[in-house]
Amino acid sequence: MSTADCLFCRIVAGEIPATVVRETPTTLAFRDIDPKAPVHVLVIPKEHYADVATLAGGDPALAGEVLGTAAAVAEDEGLLGDGFRLMFNTGAYGGQEVFHVHAHLLGGAPLGPMLA
């Protein structure tokens, strides 16, 4: 997929609005449009990678920056004490719907052992 066709690349480009909670030179964090928890933030690299495996293989430092941004948002949102979930849905079996890698940061309530 080209970046012109990618929803999250279009958010990075400012072509589609999003509620941004943190931005770094290489990453962006914004609220999920359909939150599954009181706090539900998506954390992405600005550069297009399809999924976490491609990102980790192609640019492990950038993968680390995504994790760092997620941790900073978790702190900003007050999640460090009670805990939170950070997950990457990957591929068809993982239920991935947007093929620009994104970490889901979920918290603010007990989440149970797994998401449905």
Which residues lie near Zn ion (CB under 5 A)? 6, 8-9, 48, 100
* 25 binds ligand 5GP per the rule CB under 6 A: no
Dist CA 5 CA 21 (whole Å)? 24
Nearest to 63 by CA among 53, 72, 73: 53
* 49 binds ligand 5GP per the rule CB under 6 A: no
Per DSSP, the residues of 10-44 read: HHHTTSS---EEEE-SSEEEEE-SS-SSSEEEEEE
33 binds, among ligand 5GP, Zn ion, none (CB under 5 to 8 A by kind): ligand 5GP
* Token digits of residue 30: 């914004």
Decide whether 81 or 97 has the Cβ nearer to ligand 5GP: 97
Q: Site residues for ligand 5GP, window 88-107 (CB under 6 A)?
A: 89, 95-98
Q: Is 28 exposed, middle or buried (0-12, 13-18, 19+ CB in 10 A)?
A: buried
Among 7, 50, 56, 62, binds ligand 5GP (CB under 6 A): 7
Decide whether 36 or 78 has the Cβ nearer to ligand 5GP: 36
The residues binding ligand 5GP (CB under 6 A) are 7, 16, 18, 30-34, 89, 95-98
